[in-house]
Amino acid sequence: YREIVKMPEKQVAPVISNLEDFANNLPGYLISESPVAVLLDYDGTLAPIADNPAKTKMPVELEAILHKIAKHPKVFLAVISGRGLKDVQKQVNIDGITYAGNHGLEIEYPDGSRHDYELPTEIQKNYTQMVRELKEKVEKNGAWVEDKKVSLTYHYRDTPAALKDQQKQLASEICTKFGFRANQAHEAIEAKPPVNWNKGEAAVYILKQKFGDNWSQKVSVVFAGDDTTDEDAMRVLRGLGRSFRISADAQIQTYADFRLPKQAVMTDLLKWIANVYVS
Ligand SMILES: O=P(O)(O)OC[C@H]1O[C@H](O[C@H]2O[C@H](CO)[C@@H](O)[C@H](O)[C@H]2O)[C@H](O)[C@@H](O)[C@@H]1O
């Protein structure tokens, strides 16, 4: 007989707006005797969206709690970002935690060892040509290409409104022409390589490395993110961990279990964890 595997579906998730809501909606999910794996996105999650990637900053209170929980032996912390690995490490700047960059294609563990998803030569060649063509044709009118070597972000926030749609459309077409996946992001397009590896695969890989194949029986998992690329992690963690999608859109369809209406509620999420483990 064939086993029918039910694929998770997106839903309009219940909202959590403050610290009390976490404990009320997730009673007993975290207990101080058992470990928790906290997997977090960076832009729009740990730091509010800024008009330029070089200008992001974690809110002071959030940063202090993050440092505190990162040190706790029962808390395993990983940041999984679309940024290049070195870039996200520089932004978060906490030693002793795991980092994944380029949507999980590059992973670095606290001991400095790495896991790099090896892209086939053909895809690497296409990447180089794609960067060249994007720079030639659509790096203009304030838009720019963030070349992260294995994936890129085309930023068009500063492009005049009258030109935005047309330029963004052309950029997406160039990405898909070279076989890359073009994901809509905040005032940007994320071009990701056509491989079966994303934030979801990376999250599971990291959890298996740390807790073994039966990680879901050993550890509570908390994942938070604000973007379409984070949905890959929310999908694979459905039923195995608890995910939180940051979005102001009350009707947004998500694989996450809960919606956080704004980035500021991330401080409450971290307080919820700290209240269980630290104090
Ligand atoms: O996976 P993340 O950690 O959320 O990274 C996603 C992308 O974030 C950055 O771009 C976004 O944030 C910028 C700073 O707030 C903002 O100016 C931009 O409009 C956003 O798209 C980063 O530049 C990308 O490399 C990441 O892939």
Q: What is the pLDDT of residue 8?
A: 87
Do 78 and 55 have their domain in common? yes
Q: Are residues 76 and 201 in the same domain?
A: yes
Show the tokens assigned to 239: 């039923």
pLDDT digits (tens, 9 = 90+) for 147-177: 999 999 999 999 999 999 999 999 999 999 9
C-beta separation of 226 from 45 below 8 A: yes
Ligand 1 closest atom vs CA 48: 15
Specify the long-range contacts of residues 144-147, CB closer than 8 Å, at least 24 apart: 146/53
**Do 229 and 183 have their domain in common?**
no
Pair 208, 182 in one domain? no
Burial class (CB within 10 angstroms; exposed 0-12, middle 13-18, buried 19+) of 212 = exposed
Q: Within the chain, what is the greatest distance between any pair of CA atoms?
A: 59
Q: How many domains does the chain have?
A: 2
Per the structure, the complete domain to which residue 184 belongs is given by: 121-192
Cross-strand pairs, 145: 154
The residue among 274, 272, 263 whose CA lies nearest residue 47 is 263
Closest-lying ligand 1 atom to the alpha carbon of residue 44:
4
Residue to mutate, 102, 153, 189, ligand 1, most ligand atoms under 8 Å from C-beta:
153
Task: Give the model's pLDDT for residue 279.
Answer: 73
Residue 4: its pLDDT value, please? 67
Both 184 and 237 in one domain: the answer is: no
User: Phi and psi for 237 in degrees, rounded to 5?
Assistant: -90, -5
- Per-residue model confidence as pLDDT tens digits over 9-59: 999 999 999 999 999 999 999 999 999 999 999 999 999 999 999 999 999
For residues 113 and 209, state if they share a domain.
Answer: yes
- The pLDDT of residue 2 is 63
Measured from the CB, is residue 187 less than 6 Å from ligand 1?
A: yes
Q: Which of 40, 42, 43 to mutate to test the pocket of ligand 1 (most atoms within 8 A of CB)?
A: 43
Q: Is the pTM of this model over 0.80?
A: yes
In the predicted model, residues of the chain with pLDDT beneath 50 are: none
> What gap in Å lies between CA 239 and CA 242, rounded to an integer?
7
